[in-house]
């Protein structure tokens, strides 16, 4: 099978990370230059590197908070995620992507009936954590703090959602009591007191036997129908590339990091309303799906190619350069990108407006999302929020590379390339040898530019030693 067909299979794993950009016509209509590519790659010989960027925005009069767009991909080198996290730690508020059940975004509402519904959603989200704890540990947690610690140990993105769901829409902490086999989770309504009617009615969830998995013998636990999943497709790809997973390397358990996304139920409802059968959702949420199986098989075969990592990096860079989604297409189209990108972006920007409208907004806000979302964020910040891109704010983050050399070796290669190019430029008949052709000159110039780029990136990223 041709390489390109394998890469098509691999590319299915990056539906939320393909960079997009405004067309020239869109940029002219907005009287702005096209945004930078938030995802790009560089390749030369057996070397290939892939990077994402961050860019800052502020109101045209340079007042108010600075908003950073920080693009990312789900798999990359551990050092890449370390640098991203260090960068984000310097921001007052981080809004990150995470499609979670409705109750994971906290309880709120303008009316008592809306507050009651959102409180129930938050309690049902917590119920899922409690039942998963019971299946893993053989009993319910002694406290909600224990449930939070359990959820965070599995995925640190759940830390803030669990924290948010522990408070009802009236601002009262949920009541929780448990034994090994039973628990009660309650909101005491608008008055915060036990008992009452109307808005003060107590909302109570109890353990349900039908949600509790029976204890399994050791032999049964090892059977195919009961053993734990081997991992998701992103993990399979990360293992094949020899890199890390974003959700494993980065810690989201921070008070100023909060999810800003559409709830999972809303994503599925909107896809259904558009008549779209989402391959993305099926592939990433159903391990037993046929599509999942096909992609796993293709990935296992493709990963045996000698230049697999370089091919993937080049394919991602090409996708970042070639995909073009206008904002209208992303929001009003009939395909899944109108929901997965357009409508989710709208939810983030609604949250951003809320943060900007408070009396004392954060001084700096980072929108930390997949690179595919960034072009539309860029357009909206310029056209709807009255912001401009801040000069000299661009930051690059190298996600992965292959065929890399140490900084000392790169400098030696650059020196040699510059010497060869200078020799060709100054060639005369007296120099002897064949006159360099235009093709040869272009090749030597490209080599100098390439090693200049690599030395600059190696120094900027501080990843490589001089040894």
> Residue 434 carries which DSSP code?
P
More confident residue, 40 or 320: 40
pLDDT of residue 327: 41
Which residue intervals of 112-179 are DSSP H helices? 112-137, 144-154, 159-165
- pLDDT tens for each residue of 75-125: 899 999 999 999 999 999 999 998 888 899 889 999 999 999 999 999 999
pLDDT above 90 covers a percentage of the chain that reads 43
pLDDT of residue 352: 96
Strand 364-370, strand 66-72: pairing: parallel
Measured CA to CA, the distance from residue 203 to residue 170 in angstroms comes to 12
pLDDT of residue 278: 54
The owner of tokens 């449930």 is 147
- The DSSP annotation for 323-378 comes to ----HHHHHH-SSTHIIIIIIHHHHHHHHHHHHHHSSS--SEEEEEEEGGGHHHHH
pLDDT of residue 167: 95
Distant-in-sequence, close-in-space partners of 221: CB < 8 Å, separation ≥ 6: 227
Angle at the Cα of 436 from the Cα atoms of 434 and 439, rounded to 5 degrees: 135
Query: Does the pLDDT value for residue 315 go beyond 70?
Result: yes
**Which residues, listed in sequence order, are joined to residue 368 by a DSSP beta bridge?**
70, 96
Query: Does the pLDDT value for residue 286 go beyond 70?
Result: no
Q: Please classify residue 189 by burial: count the beta carbons closer than 10 Å to its beta carbon, then call 0-12 exposed, 13-18 middle and 19+ buried.
A: buried
Nearest Cα neighbor of 73 from 373, 342, 283 is 373
More confident residue, 17 or 285: 285
In angstroms, the Cα distances linking 335 to 15, 143, 393 are 13, 43, 34
- pLDDT tens for each residue of 289-300: 555 566 666 666
pLDDT of residue 307: 83
- Please count the other Cβ atoms lying within 10 Å of the Cβ belonging to residue 186: 17
Q: How far is CA 125 from the centre of its chain?
A: 22
pLDDT of residue 266: 82
pLDDT of residue 3: 43
pLDDT-based confidence at residue 7 (cuts at 50, 70, 90): very low
> Residue 263 carries which DSSP code?
-
Q: Are 241 and 75 in contact, with CB atoms under 8 Å apart? A: yes
pTM summary value: 0.78
More confident residue, 73 or 430: 73
More confident residue, 137 or 286: 137
Tell me what the mean pLDDT of segment 371-389 comes to.
Answer: 92
Measured CA to CA, the distance from residue 113 to residue 430 in angstroms comes to 91
3 state SS for 2-58: CHHHHHHHHHCCCCCCCCCCCCHHHHHHHCCCCCCCCEEEEEECCEEEEEEEEEEEE
Q: Which residues of 286-321 are buried (b: 16+ CB within 10 A; e: fewer)?
A: eeeeeebeebbebbeebbeeeebbbbbbbbbbebbe
pLDDT-based confidence at residue 54 (cuts at 50, 70, 90): very high
Measured CA to CA, the distance from residue 131 to residue 123 in angstroms comes to 12
Distant-in-sequence, close-in-space partners of 358: CB < 8 Å, separation ≥ 6: none
- 15-24, 101-110, 185-194, range with the lowest pLDDT: 15-24
In angstroms, the Cα distances linking 204 to 80, 131, 145 are 44, 16, 19
- pLDDT tens for each residue of 130-154: 998 988 888 899 999 999 999 998 8
Greatest Cα pair distance in the chain: 102
The owner of tokens 């990096």 is 313
Backbone angles phi, psi at 184, to 5 degrees: -135, 130
Query: Please, how many CA atoms are within 13 Å of residue 109, restricted to the half-sphere of its CB?
Result: 20
Query: Does the pLDDT value for residue 58 go beyond 80?
Result: yes
Query: Does the pLDDT value for residue 35 go beyond 70?
Result: no
């Amino acid at each position: 099978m041709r390489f390109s067909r394998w890469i098509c299979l691999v590319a299915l794993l990056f539906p939320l990370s393909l960079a997009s950009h405004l067309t020239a016509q869109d940029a002219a209509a907005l009287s702005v230059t096209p945004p930078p590519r938030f995802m790009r790659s560089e390749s030369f010989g057996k070397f290939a590197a892939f990077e994402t960027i961050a860019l800052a925005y502020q109101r045209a009069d340079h007042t108010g908070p600075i908003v950073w767009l920080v693009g990312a991909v789900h798999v990359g080198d551990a050092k890449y995620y370390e640098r991203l996290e260090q960068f984000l730690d310097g921001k007052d508020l981080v809004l990150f992507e995470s499609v979670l059940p409705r109750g994971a975004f906290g309880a709120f509402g303008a009316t008592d009936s809306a507050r009651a519904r959102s409180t129930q959603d938050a309690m049902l989200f917590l119920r899922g954590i409690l039942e998963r704890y019971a299946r893993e540990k053989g009993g319910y947690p002694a406290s909600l703090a224990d449930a939070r610690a359990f959820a965070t140990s599995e995925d640190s993105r759940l830390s803030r959602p669990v924290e948010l769901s522990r408070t009802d829409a009236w601002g009262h902490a949920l009541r929780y009591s448990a034994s090994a086999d039973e628990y009660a989770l309650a909101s005491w309504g608008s008055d915060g007191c036990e008992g009452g009617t109307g808005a003060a009615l107590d909302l109570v969830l109890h353990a349900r036997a039908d949600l509790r998995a029976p204890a399994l013998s050791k032999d049964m636990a090892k059977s195919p129908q009961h053993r734990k999943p081997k991992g998701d497709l992103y993990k399979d790809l990360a293992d094949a590339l020899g890199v890390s997973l974003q959700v494993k390397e980065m810690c989201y358990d921070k008070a100023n990091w909060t999810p800003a996304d559409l709830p999972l139920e809303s994503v599925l409802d909107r896809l259904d309303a558009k008549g779209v059968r989402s391959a993305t959702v099926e592939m990433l949420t159903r391990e037993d799906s046929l599509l999942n199986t096909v992609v796993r098989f293709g990935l296992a075969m493709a990963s045996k190619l000698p230049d697999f990592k370089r091919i993937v990096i080049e394919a991602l860079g090409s996708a970042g350069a070639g995909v073009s989604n206008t904002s209208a297409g992303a929001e009003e189209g009939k395909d899944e990108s109108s929901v997965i990108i357009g409508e989710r972006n709208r939810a983030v920007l609604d949250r951003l407006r809320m943060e900007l409208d408070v009396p004392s907004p954060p001084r700096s806000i980072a929108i930390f999302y997949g690179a595919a979302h960034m072009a539309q964020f860029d357009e909206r910040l310029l056209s709807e929020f009255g912001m401009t891109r801040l000069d000299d704010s661009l930051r690059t983050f190298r996600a992965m590379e292959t065929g890399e050399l140490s900084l000392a070796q790169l400098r030696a290669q650059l020196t040699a390339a510059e010497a060869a190019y200078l020799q060709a430029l100054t060639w005369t008949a007296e120099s002897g040898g064949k006159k360099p052709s235009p093709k040869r000159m272009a090749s030597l110039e490209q080599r100098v530019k390439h090693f200049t780029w690599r030395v600059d990136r190696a120094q900027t990223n501080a990843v490589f030693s001089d040894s």
